[in-house]
Amino acid sequence: MAFNKILTKNTICLHLKGVNKQEIIDELLDMLVAAGKVEDKAAALSAVMEREGKMSTGMKHGIAIPHGKTDSVSDLVACIGISDNPVNFEALDGEPCRIFIMTLSPLEKTGPHLQFLAEISLLFKSQEKRAEMLKAGSPEDILRTLSE
């Protein structure tokens, strides 16, 4: 999957301000709304929070992948946020998170959503990639790291 077709410099934030799960999710959704990727923030928020209610999307190694399926998007959309400070996201390993990748997809399209989640998960198993993301100085640095 070509991340540069889904992610743009307008869907990458290097300094998230949120200090908890709800604030981070809101901030990521605001980025997608501002980029014109999400039509209905309330519906998207409901989908993401419903998914979080089933099981936290805080993974391992400081990464969280909040996601959901909603009619407020017509195709798979995604954004990335990096937090300067660790945030408790109820991760599987109990560690706080600093890298957040949000993805939303339409209710009827499962394939691209699952492929994106699988590829992101594989990509971030690399400690080197995670370190590059955390030290990125620009959205372009993030895009370059993802394409290498």
On whether the CB atoms of residues 39 and 73 are closer than 8 A, the answer is yes
Burial 36-73 (b: 16+ CB within 10 A, else e): ebbeeeebbbebbeeebeeebbbbebbbbbbbbbbebb
Asked if residue 18 lies in contact with residue 87, where contact means CB atoms within 8 angstroms, the answer is yes
Which amino acid, one-letter code, is at 45? Answer: L
Q: Which residues are catalytic?
A: 67
Residue 1 to residue 94: CA distance in whole angstroms: 30
